[in-house]
Amino acid sequence: MAIRIRSRFHAGRQRTPAELASVVAMLAWKLAMDSIKRMRDAKFDIDLGASYFDFVCEYLAFLAQLADRIAYARLDAESRAAFTRALALRLAEVVEDNSDMLLRPAPAGAARRHFLELFNSAGDDYADFHYTVDGPDFGFRRCFADRLRCAVPEKDRLWICDQVMEIEVPEARSVLEQTLAGLFAPADATPPKPRRERLSGD
C-alpha cells in the first residue's frame, strides 16, 4: 500500500519543533513497520511479544538519532535541541499508544519510560560515530545492528548485521533525508514540485 508522507507545510509560517517532530515520528513508525516486514520476508524470526517490541523501540531510537544528526547540519543549536527533544517525547508517546499492538502489556506510562531510557542509552552508544554525506558511518551502522541482535533468536544473530547495515539502514536513511530536507526548508522558501514518498507496507 502506498503511504503519503507529508514533508512540507504551508509557506510563510515557521514550523514549531513539535510540528516537525510529529511528522518525523509518524514517518519513523511507518519505517519501523516496513523494516519488520522486510526482515520477516528475509526469513528473520521477529516473534510477536518482547522481540517485536524491542525491535520497534530500537529502530525508532536509531531513527531519532539519525534525525538529530541531520538536524545538526540544518538547524541552529537551539532549534536542533528543541526538535530532538520533541521527537524523543513524541516517539515515546507513539510507543505508549501502541504498546498493546506491540504485544507488550504494561502499566500505564511504562512503555513511554522504557523508550526514553532506550533513547538515552542509544545516544550514549552512538555518540562516538559520525553522520557524513554518505549517511551514518560504518561504526554507527554496526552499533545499530549490534543493538538489534537481542531482538532476534540466536540462529539469526550471525546474519542480522548484513541485513541491517546493507539494506535496512540505507532504506531508512534515504526516506528520512528526503523528508527532513522538506521539513527543514525555510518557511518562505519556494516549494519544489510536489512529490509523493512511497513506502511499502501492509
Residue 9 lies in a domain: no
Look at the block and give the residue holding cell 541552529. Answer: 76
Has residue 197 got a pLDDT over 90? no
Phi and psi at 31, nearest 5°, equal -65, -40
The residue that leads in pLDDT, 6 or 176, is 176
Instruction: Give the model confidence (pLDDT) of 104-147 as tens digits.
Output: 666 788 899 999 999 999 999 999 999 999 999 999 999 999 99
Residue 79 lies in a domain: yes
Residue 5: predicted pLDDT: 47
CA distance 129 to 138: 8
Residue 197 lies in a domain: no
Residue 74 lies in a domain: yes
Instruction: Give the model confidence (pLDDT) of 48-65 as tens digits.
Output: 778 888 999 999 999 999
Domain count, the chain: 1
Has residue 26 got a pLDDT over 80? yes
Instruction: Give the model confidence (pLDDT) of 154-163 as tens digits.
Output: 888 888 999 9
DSSP letter (8 states) at residue 107: S
Has residue 9 got a pLDDT over 60? no
Tell me the average pLDDT of the chain: 85
CA distance 108 to 66: 28
Residue 7 lies in a domain: no
Residue 20: predicted pLDDT: 92
Task: Print burial letters for 31-42: b (CB count within 10 Å at least 16), e (below 16).
Answer: bbbbbbeebeee
The residue that leads in pLDDT, 13 or 83, is 83
Residue 179 lies in a domain: yes
Residue 198 lies in a domain: no
Instruction: Give the model confidence (pLDDT) of 35-44 as tens digits.
Output: 999 999 999 8
Domain residues for the domain of 138 are 17-183
Residue 189 lies in a domain: no
Task: Print burial letters for 130-161: b (CB count within 10 Å at least 16), e (below 16).
Answer: ebeeebbeeebbbbbbebbeebbeeebbeebb
